[in-house]
Chains A and B, each alone.
Chain A
C-alpha cells in the first residue's frame, strides 16, 4: 500500500514504443529520439522513461548511431 502511494508521484510507466507501435526505431528519426536524451545528451534510463527493455535496447543502438552521424550530440558544450 505504501509502495503504491509512493509510485503515484511519478509519471505512469508505459513504453511509448509498444503503445504507438513504432516498429523499427530509426536512428535518423530525431523527432522520436530527442525526448529520450537528457539536457546533457545522456540517454534517459528506462526506469525514468518507462520503456520496456526490448525497446530500450533498440533505442540505445539508434541513439548511438545518431550520435555517430552528428544528428545528436555526444555531450552538450558549455
Chain B
C-alpha cells in the first residue's frame, strides 16, 4: 500500500452539496483502487492560471489517500471519465512528505483545541491562521 495525494479540479458551477456528492464518488473510486481517503482539504473556488475545458475558475479538492500501486492506472481512468472533474493531479508521496502532511493536520487540530480553550481573541487568531493556510 502506497500513499498518494490527489488534487482534483471540479467544475466551477457546482454548489456545496454537489461538491460533497462528488467527493463521495471520488472516495468510492479510491476504495475501488484498494485504498481509503485519509484526509481531505477543500481549497474552494480558485481562478485557474489558464483555461481548462473553457473554464476560468475551478473548485479545488485536495485528497490524501492510500491505494494499491497496481490499480493507479484504473483510478486515473476513473478520474478522466467522471464528468465533474475537469483536471486532476495524482502524485505519490514519500514517507517523510506524508508524515509532514499528516503532522500538519495534527498540529492544526491541536492549535484549534488550544484556541477554543483559551479566550476568544486568541481563538479568532488561530482560526484566521488556519483560514490563511487553507487559502494558500
Additional A-B contact list (16), CB under 8 Å, known A67-B49, A71-B46: A23-B100, A24-B97, A28-B62, A28-B136, A30-B136, A31-B136, A65-B89, A68-B89, A69-B7, A69-B9, A70-B49, A70-B58, A71-B49, A72-B49, A73-B49, A77-B50
Q: Give the size category of A's interface with B.
A: 10 to 19
From 22 to 77 in chain A, residues with beta carbon under 8 angstroms from any chain B beta carbon are 23-24, 27-31, 65, 67-74, 77
A-B contact pairs, 19 of them (CB 8 A): A23-B100, A24-B96, A24-B100, A28-B43, A28-B62, A28-B136, A31-B136, A65-B89, A65-B91, A67-B49, A68-B89, A69-B9, A69-B88, A70-B49, A70-B50, A70-B52, A72-B49, A74-B50, A77-B50
**Which residues of the partner chain A approach B45 to less than 8 Å between Cβ atoms?**
none
Output the nearest chain B residue to A23 by Cβ-Cβ distance: B100
Q: Does B38 contact A (CB under 8 A)?
A: no
Q: Could you tell me the dominant secondary structure of chain B's interface residues? A: strand
Q: Could you tell me the dominant secondary structure of chain A's interface residues? A: loop
Q: Does B23 contact A (CB under 8 A)?
A: no
Q: Does B102 contact A (CB under 8 A)?
A: no
Output the nearest chain B residue to A69 by Cβ-Cβ distance: B89
**A70 to B48 Cα, complex, angstroms:** 5
